Structure 1
Amino acid sequence: MTWNLWGRFGDNWQRRQRAIAATIRTQRPEFVALQETWAVGDRRQADLLGAELGLSSAFALSRMPGDPDPGVRLGLAVLSRYPLLGVERCPLSDETVALRAEIRLGHRSLHFLTTCLDWEEDHEDQRLQQVDGLLELVSKLSVSGDMVVVAGDLNAPADRPEIKRLLGVLHDCGQQLGPTYSSGNPYLGRGEWLEDHRIDYILTALATPEEPRRCRSWLAGLDEDHGKPPSDHYAVVSDIPLAS
C-alpha cells in the first residue's frame, strides 16, 4: 500500500488521522509506504499509526511542501507487519531521498522503498535525476536476488519521460487504475498540472516475469472520512505474490 497523507493540511487533520488509521486497518496491508507524513519534535505520525495498528515503523525527512507551522516537518515513512531488519535514508538528489526498509522473507530479503519526487511542473530534470538515483539503488539491491518494491508519490503521469524511464526497468502494478490525484477529491486545488492523473505508484523488481502479472491493484481512501477522502491523494493497494 502507498499513500500520500497530506501532512497536517486541511481544516481538521486530527479527524483525517483517525480516518487514515481506519482505512489502513480495513485494508490490512503487510507493508505501507507513506509520504507527507508529519513529525513534531520526537512525535511522529508513523509511530502513532504503527502503535495503533500493531505495525513496525520507520521515518525519514525528505523534501516536501512546507507546513504553515514551522514546528511541523514532513517526510517519508514505512509501516510493516514484519520486523524491520534494516532501515536506510538514501539520497536521490539535494533534499529528496528514498527510505529503504529491509524485511527478511524466507531465504531472501525484501527491500521496500518509498519516495516522493519533486512536484513542480518545471522540475522534470530534477525528477529525471531522482529517477536515475532510484534505479541505481534498485539495481544494487537486486543484484543478489533480493526482491525490491518501490512505492510512492512520483508526481508525474505514466507518459512523462521520468516515469517511462522507471517503467523500462520496473513493473507497474497499478497501470489499469484511474487517477490518484482526482478533481473528484474536494481537497484538490483546481487547475493543478497533475489534476486527474495517476501519480502514485507501486512498482516491482521481482525474480521471475510471472510474478508481476499476478498483481491485483485497487484504490482506497476514497470516502472513509464521513463521506470525504482522508487525504488529497487516494491510496494505492496492490496484492503482489512474493516468492520466498
Structure 2
Amino acid sequence: GSIPAQIWADMKIVCQNLNVHHLVTHSKEKNTRTGKFADLLAGYAPDVVIVQEIFVLNTLFSKVGGNVRQQLITKAKECGLQYCALSKPPNPIFGQDAGLMVLSRWPIAKDYSVTFREYGWKEVPNKKGFLHAKIKIPDEDKFLHVITVHMDAHEQMVRDNQVRQLRAHLAGHVSTDDFVVVGGDLNIPAGTPEFKQLRNLLHPYRDGWGETHPGTTSHGPACVDYMFWSPNIKVCNQKLEDLDVSDHYCLMADFEIIKEDDQRYDAPKAESTEKSS
C-alpha cells in the first residue's frame, strides 16, 4: 500500500495500530514494518500521527522494543514530526507499557498517560489505556486534543467501563471550544449494539463512517479501529489504507476547522435500547 498524495487541510491526522508486540508470536519483522511506516509518512506529510501497539517490554536484564520505537521517533522528526508523547514507562523489573504514541508537527503543551482502572485478566501484561496530547496549533487560540486509545480485546463489560473512564477524562480536561480527535483500536465491532453504545457514550463526538464501516484488519471484515472528533471540525477527506505494515489498516483523515457555529455538526445519538448514561 501507499499513502495517497496530500490535499489541503487544516489538520492531517494518521492513526495506525503497528502490531509491535513482544509477548505474542504473530508480531514479526518489527523493525522492517515500523521503518516502512515511517518512510510512508514522509509522502503524506501528516500533522499528527497516533499509534497503538508500539510496545516496550522491560525485563530485569533488558529493555525490549525501545530501539524499534526510537527508530520511528527519529524518522518522524526527519519529516517534521518533531514532538512526541509516549505512554508512561513499564514496571522496571518486568512489564510492558501501554504501547501508545502521539507524534506531532506542532508543540505538545501537555500530555496525560492514563492506564485503565478496569481490565480483563488476559490483558494484565499490556497495561492498556489512553494517551492524551494537548497540542498548540498555529494561528488558533484553541488547542487540539488528540487521544490515542487501545481497549480490551476480550470482554464487553470491561470495554464499557473503559469508555466511561475515557469520557470522564475528556469531560475534565477538554474545553468545549477546543478541537478533539479520539482514535485507536477500540476492539468494538461496528454495527453491533456495543458499537451503538460506544457512539452514545462518546456523544457529541462523531464517527465519520456512521453505521457503515469498512473492515480495518486483515483478520476479517470487522471494523475495530476508529476516529471520533468534535463538532467544531469536519472531515474533508477520510481514507482507509492497507500500508502492509501491520495486521491493522491505517486510518487517515484531513480535517477543516469550522469557523461558524451554524456549520457545526452535532452528531445524533445512535438508536439503542441500552442505557447511555
Structure-1-length-normalised TM-score: 0.78
Letter of the 1:235 counterpart: C
What is the percentage of aligned positions where both structures have the same residue?
26
Check whether the contact 1:62–1:96 (CA below 8 A) recurs between aligned residues: no
Q: Is the 8 A contact 2:98 2:129 kept in 1?
A: no
The 2-side partners of 1:131 and 1:73 are apart by 19
Give yes or no for contact 2:39–2:75 (8 Å, CA) kept in 1: no
From the superposition, tell whether residues 163 and 139 of structure 1 become closer, same or farther in structure 2 (CA, over 3 Å).
farther
Cα deviation 1:137-161 (Å, max 9, x = unaligned): 2223344422211010011112234
Whether the 8 Å contact between 1:174 and 1:217 is mirrored in structure 2 is no
1:85 corresponding residue in structure 2: 109
Distance 1:201 1:78, change over 3 A: same
Letter in 2 for 1:237: M
* Structure 1 match to 2:19: 6
Q: In structure 1, how many angstroms separate the alpha carbons of the residues matched to 2:136 and 2:97?
A: 30
Residue 165 (str. 1) matches residue 189 (str. 2):
no
Q: Does 1:48 align with 2:48?
A: no
Tell me what 1:242 maps to. 257
Pairwise CA distance, 1:49: 1.6
Structure 1 residue ranges without an equivalent (≥5): 64-69, 183-187, 189-194
Question: How does 1:93-242 map onto structure 2 within 5 Å?
Answer: 93-94=117-118, 95-105=127-137, 106-120=140-154, 123-168=155-200, 169=203, 170-175=205-210, 177-182=213-218, 188=219, 195-207=220-232, 211-212=233-234, 214-220=235-241, 222=242, 224=243, 229-242=244-257
Structure 2: runs of 5+ lacking an equivalent? 1-13, 58-62, 119-126, 260-277
Asked whether the 8 Å contact 1:46–1:79 carries over to 2, the reply is no
Task: Supply the RMSD in Å over aligned alpha carbons.
Answer: 2.6
Residue matched to 2:42: 25
**Equivalent in the alignment of 2:86:** 59
Encode CA deviations 1:60-102: one digit per residue, 9 max, x unaligned.
1599xxxxxx786551111111111111112332343210001
Encode CA deviations 1:121-172: one digit per residue, 9 max, x unaligned.
Answer: xx00000001111122222334442221101001111223443233220211
Report how many residues are paired.
Answer: 215
Which aligned runs of 4 or more in structure 1 are off by greater than 6 angstroms? none
* Structure 1 partner of 2:265: none
